[in-house]
Amino acid sequence: MGIEALSLSEQLILTLAALILFTSFLLLAQTRMVSLIHTFAWQGALLFAATVLMATSSGRHHLFISAGLTLALKVFFIPWQLRRLVVRLDIRREVETVGGASLIMIGAGALTLFSYYVVLPIRELSLLSTRNTIAISLAIILIGMLMIITRRKAVAQVIGFMSMENGLFFAAVVSTYGMPMVVELGVAFDVLVAAILFGIFFFQIRSGIGSLNVDHLNRLTEVDK
């Protein structure tokens, strides 16, 4: 089916899906912590717009609640919480990575191609006009995982984890018109609690080893027998 055969709302959803995937690449490309947090907020804003569009086009009004939770948590609260932490911990400067930036971006591109290959049987069976977004959702999840592997700072790894959750949420919205409301409220509450707990752990790690570089944790040795 060509894109010209799709309705305007379906074309907009595919455009938003491409932009959400683009923000995943931007997350990998950021070299400063504050820019990384702002990019994560933009990814949340695009996710909010896609959810509102799906709610409007499908008539599934419970998705408006999911969109409201996404706006409140992923666009405002979590970025504000992370920005406040990096200012208090004075880690606004460079984001340290494992390996070269070019190699990481090539890896992200390879994961995107791999995602399209993996979901090819699903695309053939699915009747959804937006079935291409399933591959994009999987690519967002895998790129978030790549970000966790290639970043040294704990804050950047948390943003990678949150980006993976964005990919799972987007897959649920475009594939099944969202999860049951009880599940979505539970996930939103878990994300909220995780954001608060991560903040506490950041301070504990910083006070314990003097850095948020997770490589330092590997050098810890047991002193007391």
| pLDDT at 21 (0 to 100) | 93
| pLDDT at 48 (0 to 100) | 92
Token pair belonging to 68: 């409201």
User: What three-state secondary structure class fits 91?
Assistant: coil
Token pair belonging to 73: 């948590």
- In Å, the largest CA–CA distance within the chain is 70
**What integer is the mean pLDDT of 99-116?**
88
Tell me which of 15 and 131 has the higher pLDDT. Answer: 15
User: What three-state secondary structure class fits 100?
Assistant: coil
Q: Structure pTM?
A: 0.81
Measured CA to CA, the distance from residue 21 to residue 43 in angstroms comes to 9
Asked whether residue 23 carries a pLDDT value surpassing 90, the answer given is: yes
Task: Identify which of 121, 114, 115 has the alpha carbon closest to the alpha carbon of residue 135.
Answer: 115
At 176-210, the pLDDT tens digits run 766 666 566 666 666 766 776 676 666 666 666 66
At 27-56, the pLDDT tens digits run 988 888 888 899 999 999 999 999 898 888
| Contact partners, residue 219, CB within 8 Å, separation at least 6 | none
Give the Å distances, CA to CA, from 41 to 46, 56, 60, 157, 159.
9, 23, 25, 15, 10
Task: Specify whether the CB–CB gap between 14 and 132 falls below 8 A.
Answer: yes
